[in-house]
Structure 1
């Protein structure tokens, strides 16, 4: 039984700090997000829904494509409740069509990062049992899908033609100048055209969704370990977080707002804040396939977009660029920073570029769909805080050693309860059990709450590295390096990085008589790690520090690295 539901407000000091008009105990809408988006499509079919490099899709067109794709998934591939469909797509109009189409058909979305290596993708698709993968005919992405299919990890590839996402002139130019970047799929029964499925115009059959039991998204995360686990997020979990964010926005996510989606939809933060929230409310999403400063500034100039969900890396790039002027960011009203801690120097530098915009730091994790806390979006909040718990969200801090709940101002592990919290991990009862303490989701993050209910994070319990908002696992890098014939021991730590928030640094002990350089090892790693995982530095040592029981120790390496940086200043 949840004893927090009727807890007195004295146990929730954050309620007194809530902006006027926002209620912590307001009802949370658990209507599945695909139903909300399809309702928005029917409500105002002529309104702009998607803008991709100037190519536009109205809500009416979006609704037709979602239903047609859902119908094709049902009729051609037998997708129904419980079916897992993998999406390996960058930000394009194909992503929301595929995402909502899978949900409308009754299936479960399995997001795949196109930057992942084939072994990483193999684990996710095999573990999930995702027989179908939706991807693009861009060569660098398509070849990974083809490799997964040849290895037997997916049965069917549904392939979208990238130039079709572009406005006419850019489509023609791309087809001529960038033809070599396109794969040439041999379409057959197991490699199918996305566009031809849409063109069939199949009508989806009814699917009765049990919002609290049926899984909408199986989102893979390592949490604080290196082996990704599938967090089971129900339709109600995702819809609840959308509703919580909508309430917290206090009208921000309604007309005439426009939301910039430069963060990738396959990341849980962008999926929720950049896509589900705005499209469910009938406002446009302005997409970029990846972050490029010139392109981002072009969006502000062309569309006058006013909401920018972001990560510290992006904000830092904008803030540090000499070419960026306040006039170029004049339309920006709110920038929401998530995915990693926001350094104070980045906050201050960004404020000089955009003095009008509110920069609000938020916090979440995959297992909470993802947002748990956020600074106010309509007025300034306490600096260096991740803000207040969202409506309907309870938090507590627990002593890391004893498990006892700690008081105001005392550091402990942040734990969460709320309608956005997952039920557990896919087919992993041990990990699911470890993720909770007395019904509270354990975050692995250490911090405290002040007397006004504002939350401050100070550290992480485990060794997870958060690089540009993505989880990087030392073990993955260590295991890749250990396959090199010259390496005897390796230990990877995360260090502060001005651009990415954190970056991995590898310490290496070579085998006796062997030689290797930083450049040769990085070249060795290129096909084993993605770009985010690549160590920023590789440092060679005669011996690596160990604990009393002989386990490689990261603590001494972190101290050594910090001392070395301090001496260089």
Structure 2
């Protein structure tokens, strides 16, 4: 079989001369529905209930852009809020979102990799402390650390976003907004979003403005958001519906779909400072939330958390799950809890600027286990191990071509050549595609783990493990977990002296394991911790060229996991 095309190929022109805020705030694309009233809010603050409409956000974006240009003449930031994103884009800058729970080492790595010169940071003590330490390490002046929320004693030189936005609106306009030439949107960078790609440490994916705009339009056409294709009650996305923003905006799923696409669909977003499941349930009832964009661990909580017994989730009419596959059993439970809701999965990557598949608009429910149908404009190949193309329902490596393709990995030509080939993206996932153009993800050919929807590179954890004095060699694999999808487990070859101590005293092995687990916990964000434990091994299996035979240890880990489960019976 040759290339596989999406069921719907015809869709409106994607503007290639607009920045993201110009597309979202300044123009009306034909695929975009209009809100039923001017007063429909774009953002709703979960804590205070305050609402922000389009014009207020547009004005605050302009004011912040004016202040940033006047005071700092900045080019790159770490954002946690949409006004900051759009303001930086207004002045021609690039955004690199980072996890506020990062350690100092992890944040410093990202700041150096992106050549960042400026940061926006939430005002809680932990985030500010980490940001200050990382800024000092990479020589970013603390005056270039701007805070969301109140001022902080940890960084007294830092201004707040609110101060800057107000000052900018009251000051004479000093910046000239960047206007793109025709076609320039395909090369002008908007984001440097981190992904582990198919192997190795996290890498900065270079995302131009055109890629995000293209994916938003693909989602709009696939879901027919500006068409009366069925009754109002059954339409999947309706102006004035309310979506809660429980996905982090620094993650590509949250950034593109939960933020930009939802606003493009003329819906409201409830913005929360940090995910808390019981808090989410309260917010759903308080704001009558209709739409949930989730990852599998959040769905597991919906199915199993005791707070669901008294929760009012009657307003929910749509649930989309992405970032990792959802099991058949959990999907069944979810449908029992929300019998009238639209429920399904989508599949995508940072390298494709998010979604490449989503369940068909003709079906209220996605097929169990399916990642959905190819999105408009997508062309796919399924390549077998011998290099030939697979037919329908034959497994193979998924390779995709999409209008939303990114430019590759910044400053990493070798990794770019491995993943981006002649306009195609090699996903690293083994799939089969059926005659309905439904994509079924079977396994990951790449090494990356998905923990709670976040990518975790084994090589990154292995590097951390090798810094421990008791570790001679190491290999990290993912093992299945009901809540997190996967969790990291480490196979460790102990250093010779450590091995001798373990032989002489059986208690030493447990002490060393505890020390290794704590070492990773001290140096990595929580979802990268070794929740799967540590197992000692005599030698790490490798092929003749020295490449880790990770699949061998993955099978061994699954066997150990089964043995542990049986031992508990």
Q: TM-score band, normalised by the shorter chain?
A: 0.7 to 0.9
Task: Determine whether 1:100 maps to 2:69.
Answer: no
Structure 2 equivalent of residue 141 of structure 1? 127
Residue of structure 2 in register with 1:57 after alignment: 51
Cα distance between partner residues in 2 of 1:149 and 1:291: 26
Instruction: Report the alpha carbon displacement of residue 194 of structure 1 after superposing the two structures with TM.
Output: 2.1
Cα separation, 1, equivalents of 2:246 and 2:144: 26
Q: How does 1:439-478 map to 2 (within 5 A)?
A: 439-478=423-462
Tell me what 1:565 maps to. 561
Correspondence 1:399-548 to 2 at 5 A: 399=384, 401-511=385-495, 512-514=499-501, 515=508, 516-547=511-542
Deviation at 1:552?
A: 4.6
1:162 aligns with 2:154: no
1:198 to 156, 165, 168: 165
1:537 alignment partner, SS class:
coil
Q: 1:230 to 1:541 in 2, by over 3 A?
A: closer
Instruction: Mark the runs of 5 or more structure 2 residues left unpaired by the alignment.
Output: 29-33, 226-235, 502-507
Task: Tell me if structure 2 keeps the 8 A contact 1:13–1:451.
Answer: no
Q: Does 1:215 align with 2:182?
A: no
Q: Could you tell me whether the CA contact under 8 Å between 1:414 and 1:444 is conserved in 2?
A: yes
Is residue 2:99 matched to residue 1:113?
A: yes
Contact conserved, 1:369 with 1:422, CA < 8 A, in 2?
Answer: yes
> Deviation at 1:367?
0.9
- Offset of residue 506 of structure 1: 1.1
1:326/1:137 CA distance change after superposition, 3 Å: closer
Q: Residue 324 of structure 1 aligns to a residue in which SS?
A: helix
Deviations 1:20-39 (A, max 9, x none): xxx43111433533123323
Task: State the partner residue of 1:556.
Answer: 552
Q: Which residue of 2 aligns with 1:170?
A: none
Displacement of 1:63 in angstroms is 1.5
TM-score, normalised with respect to structure 1? 0.86
Per-residue CA deviation, residues 51-84 of structure 1 (Å, 9 max, x unaligned), is 22243232232111111111112222224xxx32
| Shift of residue 186, structure 1, vs aligned partner | 4.4
| CA displacement, residues 410-469 of structure 1 (integer Å, 9 cap, x when unaligned) | 111111111100122212222222212332111111111111211111111121111011
Are 2:307 and 1:311 aligned? no
Partner of 2:61: 66
My pick for the range that moved more, 547-556 or 103-112, is: 547-556
Q: Which residue of 2 aligns with 1:238?
A: 212
**For 1:396-423, what per-residue CA distance to the aligned partner results, in whole angstroms no more than 9, with x for missing partners?**
1112x33332221111111111110012
State which drifts further: 314-323 or 372-381: 372-381
Once the two structures are TM-superposed, the CA of residue 565 in structure 1 deviates from its matched residue by 3.4
User: Is the contact made by 1:40 and 1:282 (CA closer than 8 Å) also made in structure 2?
Assistant: no
1:166 corresponds in structure 2 to none
Partners of 2:148 and 2:254 in 1: how far apart?
23
Q: Which residue of 1 aligns with 2:504?
A: none
In the aligned structure 1, how far is the partner of 2:198 from the partner of 2:465?
A: 20
**2:560 match: secondary structure:** helix
1:284/1:40 Cα in 2 relative to 1: closer, same or farther (>3 Å)?
farther
Query: In structure 2, what is the equivalent of residue 387 of structure 1?
Result: 372
Residue in structure 2 matching 1:39, options 26, 44, 48: 26
Distance in structure 2 (CA, Å) of the matches to 1:120 and 1:513: 34
Q: What are the superposed Cα offsets for residues 370-391 of structure 1, whole Å, 9 maximum, x if unpaired?
A: 1111113562232211111111
CA shift digits 1:256-279 (9 cap, x unpaired)? 211111010000000111110122
Is the Cα–Cα contact under 8 Å of residues 211 and 404 in structure 2 kept in the other structure? yes
1:212-248 per-position Cα deviation (integer Å, ceiling 9, x unaligned): 2211111121212232222111111100101111222
What is the CA–CA distance in structure 1 between the aligned matches of 2:337 and 2:452, rounded to whole Å?
Answer: 21
In the alignment, which of 146, 150, 153 is matched to residue 184 of structure 1?
Answer: 153
Residue of structure 2 in register with 1:178 after alignment: none
Q: d(CA) in 2 for partners of 1:475 and 1:144?
A: 24
Aligned length: 524
Query: Given the two structures, how large is their TM-score scaled by the length of structure 2?
Result: 0.86
Q: CA deviation at 1:530?
A: 1.1
* CA–CA separation in structure 2 for the residues paired with 1:376 and 1:70: 40
Contact 2:397 2:427 in 1 (8 A): yes
Q: Distance in 1 between matches of 2:309 and 2:375?
A: 33
Query: 2:233 matched to which residue of 1?
Result: none
- Alignment partner of 1:380: what SS? coil
Structure-2 separation of matches of 1:28 and 1:418? 14
How many angstroms apart in 2 are the aligned matches of 1:199 and 1:394? 47
Q: What is the alpha-carbon root mean square deviation over aligned residues?
A: 2.4
Unaligned runs of 5+ in 1: 1-7, 16-22, 90-94, 164-181
